[in-house]
């Protein structure tokens, strides 16, 4: 399919490209890679490794493990990008079904969920099927909605809602509320991008507002505790609020220019918990200051904006919806993590993409970017579809 001669025309639509010979396609194009996005991701990974080296107490072994993971994740991304969106679309129901089955297996196997008391444990590596759902739920919705004309009718939206609700409920039962909400968000983003009507959005929003207080009673104790400690961390400075206080101290004490790389006292003297994983942004802010924080934020924005741009340029509805939703989910990760570390959002165990130490989420994230690149570079799917 990559030999399709019409590709140049459909990519840019510019007359200059028309004259370009097919042989001139760059390596990136042949590999289905978007260079700006790749650059952003590589930059982020490099910053991440640097901060991780400091946060881990200059643990080169840990750094090596993270490097290997990054290598795997980038390989996965490139591999995923080679497969056309049409193919992904075809496989989607299978993936979705398999991931739901895995979720059920987790529930049956009795693997316990996350508790706030585990916070002082460092770098626990677990296989989490719920991470896969972050990919398969938006895939399923995109595939389902892209079948018909958009915006979808209310009946289809309800069915799509079912696709979201089932895995969300299963993950919430683990219990892992943070991941459940993020999985739901990734699905809702698809609905939003697909053009779900504003009236429906408003109605759902109102429902959520009413249900929020009710859900308080459905929460587990540790989950309530997290919300309480978020609202008033000083209430229990050595208990659940400890991380938040120490995290704010780390960030605030960094000032404009920071304490310098490897000089963050909060991190190196072990005041900051989870400094290699969920709270790594605090280490960065402490050592590189406000400018460092802005820098990494700029990189996140660059990736997000470029990702949305790629989604916009994609002509194929499945890839477009999915790519857009995945980029928005990526940004939500960033916001939730930084919001949590700076104390504007409750503490939920969300890692900072590509910076936090850890494997599962990194691979699923890079797979998402792989899909996005695939959607962007395999744009002749539409014409092929027409021909078929």
Residue placing its CB nearer to another protein in the complex, 78 or 295: 295
Residue 173 CB, nearest approach to another protein (Å): 29
Cβ proximity to another protein: between 134 and 320 the closer is 320
Contact 267/286 with Cβ under 8 angstroms?
Answer: yes
CB of 277 to another protein, least distance (A): 17
- Which of 254/359 has CB closer to another protein? 254
Question: Residue 340 corresponds to which tokens in the numbers above?
Answer: 């949590």
- The CA distance from 159 to 166, in Å, is 11
Measured from the CB atom, the residue of 33 and 336 that comes closer to another protein is 336
For residue 175, whether the previous peptide bond is cis, meaning omega lies within 30 degrees of 0, is yes
How far is Cα 67 from Cα 43, in angstroms, rounded to an integer? 13
Residues that bind another protein (CB under 8 A): 86, 89-90, 92-93, 143-144, 146-151, 189, 192-195, 246, 248-256, 265-266, 268-271, 285, 289-290, 293-294, 297, 301, 304-305, 308, 311-312, 315, 317-318, 320-321, 324, 328, 331, 335, 338-339, 342-344, 385, 388
Q: Minimum distance from CB of 175 to another protein (Å)? A: 27
Q: Measured from the CB atom, is 215 or 232 closer to another protein?
A: 232
Classify 179 as helix, strand or coil. Answer: helix
Does a cis peptide bond (omega within 30 degrees of 0) precede residue 151? yes
Q: Please, which residue, 97 or 252, has the CB nearer to another protein?
A: 252
Task: Give the shortest CB-174-to-another protein separation in angstroms.
Answer: 27
Given a contact cutoff of 8 angstroms between Cβ atoms, the answer to whether 194 and 153 are in contact is no
DSSP H helices, 4-34, are 7-12, 15-19, 27-30
DSSP 94-123: HHHHHHHHHHHHHHHHT-----GGGGGS--
Quote the least distance from Cβ 51 to another protein, whole Å.
16
Provide, rounded to whole angstroms, the least separation between the CB of residue 151 and another protein. Answer: 6
Q: How distant, in Å, are the alpha carbons of 257, 271, 281, 297, 333 from that of 251?
A: 11, 12, 8, 14, 19
Which of 44, 43, 53 lies closest to 276 in space, CA to CA? 53
Nearer to another protein, 216 or 297 (CB): 297
């Amino acid at each position: 399919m990559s030999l399709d001669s019409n590709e140049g025309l459909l990519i840019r639509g510019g007359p200059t490209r028309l004259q370009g010979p097919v042989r001139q396609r760059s390596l990136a194009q042949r590999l289905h890679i978007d260079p700006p996005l790749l650059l952003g991701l590589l930059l982020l990974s490099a910053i991440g490794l640097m901060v991780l080296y400091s946060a881990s107490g200059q643990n080169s072994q840990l750094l090596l493990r993270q490097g290997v993971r990054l290598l795997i994740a980038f390989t996965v991304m490139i591999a995923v990008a080679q497969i056309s969106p049409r193919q992904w679309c075809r496989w989607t129901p299978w993936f979705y079904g398999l991931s739901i089955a895995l979720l059920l297996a987790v529930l049956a196997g009795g693997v316990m969920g996350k508790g706030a008391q585990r916070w002082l444990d460092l770098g626990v590596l677990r296989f989490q099927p719920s991470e896969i759902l972050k990919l398969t739920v938006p895939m399923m919705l995109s595939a389902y909605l892209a079948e018909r004309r958009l915006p979808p009718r209310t009946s289809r939206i309800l069915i799509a809602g079912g696709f979201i609700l089932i895995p969300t409920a299963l993950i919430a039962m683990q219990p892992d509320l943070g991941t459940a909400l993020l999985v739901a968000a990734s699905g809702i983003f698809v609905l939003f991008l697909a053009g779900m009507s504003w009236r429906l959005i408003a109605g759902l929003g109102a429902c959520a507002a009413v249900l929020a207080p009710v859900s308080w009673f459905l929460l587990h104790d540790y989950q309530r505790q997290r919300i309480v400690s978020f609202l008033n961390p000083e209430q229990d400075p050595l208990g659940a609020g400890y991380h938040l206080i120490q995290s704010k101290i780390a960030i605030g004490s960094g000032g404009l220019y920071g304490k310098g790389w490897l000089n963050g006292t909060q991190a190196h003297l072990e005041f900051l918990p989870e400094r290699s994983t969920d709270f790594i942004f605090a280490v960065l802010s402490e050592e590189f200051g406000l400018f460092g924080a802005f820098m990494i934020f700029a990189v996140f924005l660059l990736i997000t904006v470029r990702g949305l741009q790629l989604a916009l340029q994609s002509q194929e509805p499945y890839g477009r919806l999915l790519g857009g939703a995945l980029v928005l989910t990526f940004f939500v990760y960033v916001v939730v993590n930084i919001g949590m570390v700076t104390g504007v959002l409750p503490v939920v165990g969300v890692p900072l993409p590509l910076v936090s130490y850890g494997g599962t989420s990194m691979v699923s994230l890079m797979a998402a970017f792989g899909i996005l690149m695939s959607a962007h570079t395999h744009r002749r799917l539409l014409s092929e579809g027409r021909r078929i």
